[in-house]
Amino acid sequence: MRVAYTLASRESVPALTTIHQDAALRARTAIRRLEALRDGPPCDAGIVLPVELVERESTRRLPCQTL
C-alpha cells in the first residue's frame, strides 16, 4: 500500500486519520468527464470514487476514565 501524507497529518499531534484516493484514477475520471462535456451528450452529475481510510492516532481507542 502506498501512503501519501499531507503536511497536516505529519505535523499534528496526535497524527490525523486521513483518506487515500488513487490520484491517477481521479485524473482519468476528470478527463473523461471533460471530454463528455465537450462532445455533447450530458453526463451524470455525481461521481463516486473509492477511498481508503488511513487510521492514525487521532482515531485510537482511549482508555475508559472515570471523572
**Domain-located, residue 45:** yes
**Domain-located, residue 36:** yes
**Domain-located, residue 39:** yes
The whole-model pTM stands at 0.62
Asked whether the predicted pLDDT for residue 26 surpasses 90, the reply is yes
Average pLDDT, the chain: 81
CA 63, CA 45: separation in Å to the nearest integer? 44
CA 32, CA 38: separation in Å to the nearest integer? 10
The count of domains in the chain is 1
- Per-residue pLDDT tens over the stretch 2-25: 555 567 776 788 888 889 999 999
**Domain-located, residue 24:** yes
C-alpha cell at 29: 475520471
**Domain-located, residue 21:** yes
**Domain-located, residue 64:** no
**Residue 27 lies in domain:** 7-59
Dihedral pair phi/psi, residue 56, rounded to 5°: -130, -160
Asked whether the predicted pLDDT for residue 67 surpasses 60, the reply is no
pLDDT at residue 29, rounded to an integer: 93
C-alpha cell at 40: 455533447
**Domain-located, residue 2:** no
Other C-beta atoms closer than 10 Å to the C-beta of 18 total: 19
